[in-house]
Amino acid sequence: MMSFRRILFNNCLALLAAGSLLTGCKADVPKPPPVVVTPPPTPDATPPQYGTPFAGVPDRADAVMYQVNMRAFSQTANFAGVTARLDSIKDVGVNVLYLMPIYPVGQLRGVNSPYAVRDYRAVNPEFGNLADLRTLVDAAHARGLTVMLDWVANHTAFDHSWITEHPDWYQKNAAGAIISPSNNGITYNDVAQLNFDSRPMRLEMISAMKSWVYTANVDGFRFDYSDFQPNDFWKQATDTLRSIKTHKLLLLAEGTRASNFASGFDYNFGFGFYGGIYNVYRNGAPASTFDALNTSEYVGATGTQQVVRYTTNHDVNGSDGTPPALFGGKAGAMSAFVIAALYKGVPMVYNGQEAGMTTAIPFPFTSVKVQWGANPDVKRAYQQLLAARAASPALRRGTPTPYSTTSVCAFTKTAGTEQALVLVNVRNAGTVYTLPAALANSTWTNALQGNTVSLGTEVVLPAYGYLVLRK
């Protein structure tokens, strides 16, 4: 199944087009999330710890994520194919590896979706076995890479054992039949909707999550479709996972609810920001679009809680197209990624993106393989940008101040005594940016190339050109 992110993006895009930027893809006005109260986590039997807990998990604000779609990533389409390219992944400048679902895929009513899970505690033999997964995790850790698994809490496949063993763990219609999840009039008939009023189901679900931290030594989870389960369930789950004191875990909600932050997630997902990129680069919306999203997407966030931002992922890549196809070729795609990576939040790269891939990877991700090495110039640009981000506290964590115009996304970021200035032309034509008085006649270091840059009152930017400065 194509899952539900496409629907959320369509909602966001409609709102953006209507000018409702401050509300992102939410129908209500952003407001502080309610306080989530939940019973304490219930202890359960845990398996022995495999390996040594990884000590290199980054602080959540310093993460750079890399999404791996095993089916498309390599010719072998398995864990071994990913393990073989870990050095190349590390080379991009990322530090968190996020693996799409690794669990057996349901066959009954199935459409070969990785998001139709048949067994939460098993490895999909399509990718290998537990030993192969452990080898991948060990090799990633040896290279300083954190590993997150993808978790699908909302539903299971129809041939999951819970269907017959615990039918009360599912929602049913008036006739007593287990139902499939629906959203915006679309019903996903390949999966069965779980019932989050069932306390035993919740406990078993959370126990299964927790087991992977021990059996595979993973470092966190990306939680699919997480806006559609109760906040008290997520609070129960995150509290239980945080109770594993031997591990520092990163927890990403693939959702937009402000209350996800109160539920204990490190991250929300930047659906609205992607919609903003689409609207700016495809529909000519002003570059100042991004400024408002830095407010709306962070409602409810405290401390260093972040939003993950991207220019493509497994959903929109298949449905919309690749970044070069969407945003104006290689130059436009890179221009868009500079904004996603540096303005605010944590950037994510989807496999093949750094190779300048122009062929989309459609669901169910079996027909197209990433063509590695086709565009070395694109990979160099990603390496250069992410290395600059890693070397600069201001670019990673700084407080942004917007100076955008219709055609140029412009902002400074400040952290302590360091300041960064980013200028990005979002149009396929050269433009002249007039510097505000606070930035005119100043001297900087080019964060990408290392040379000294003296600014006057104007900056000439070529089509899709960008400038990243620091001092």
Is the pLDDT at 42 greater than 80? The verdict is no
Q: Is 261 exposed, middle or buried (0-12, 13-18, 19+ CB in 10 A)?
A: buried
Q: Buried (b) or exposed (e) across 31-52, using 16+ Cβ within 10 A?
A: eebeebebeebeeeeeeeebee
Is the pLDDT at 22 greater than 50? The verdict is no
- Give the integer Cα–Cα distance in Å for 189 and 324: 33
Q: Is 175 exposed, middle or buried (0-12, 13-18, 19+ CB in 10 A)?
A: exposed
Is the pLDDT at 25 greater than 50? The verdict is no
Residues β-bridged to residue 423: 410, 467
- Give the integer Cα–Cα distance in Å for 355 and 372: 6
Contact 211, 121 (CB under 8 A): yes
Contacting residues for 369 by C-beta, under 8 A, at least 6 apart: 72, 73, 74, 75, 77
**What is the arithmetic mean of pLDDT over 441-467?**
98
Each residue of 325-340: pLDDT tens digit?
Answer: 999 999 999 999 999 9
- Of residues 167 and 6, the one with the higher pLDDT is 167
Confidence of residue 16 (pLDDT cuts 50, 70, 90): very low
Each residue of 386-408: pLDDT tens digit?
Answer: 999 999 999 999 999 999 999 99
Each residue of 227-238: pLDDT tens digit?
Answer: 999 999 999 999
Confidence of residue 45 (pLDDT cuts 50, 70, 90): confident
Least confident of 40-49, 82-91, 183-192, 319-328: 40-49
Dihedral (Cα; 84, 86, 92, 98), 10-degree rounding: 120
Each residue of 67-105: pLDDT tens digit?
Answer: 999 999 999 999 999 999 999 999 999 999 999 999 999
**CATH assignment, 5-397:** 3.20.20.80
Handedness of CA 316, 317, 320, 323 (dihedral sign): positive
Mean per-residue pLDDT of the chain: 93
What is 402-470's CATH number, 3.40.640.10, 2.60.40.290, 2.60.40.1180, 3.40.50.720?
A: 2.60.40.1180
Domain ranges of the chain: 5-397, 402-470
- Give the integer Cα–Cα distance in Å for 64 and 57: 11
Contact 261, 234 (CB under 8 A): no
Contact 340, 301 (CB under 8 A): no
**What is the arithmetic mean of pLDDT over 434-451?**
97
Checking DSSP bridges between strand 431-434 and strand 458-461, what pairing results, if any? antiparallel
Residue 34 CA to chain centroid, in angstroms? 24
Contact 276, 236 (CB under 8 A): no
Which of 335, 376, 350, 391 has its CA nearest to residue 65? 350
Which of 349, 353, 352 has its CA nearest to residue 340? 349
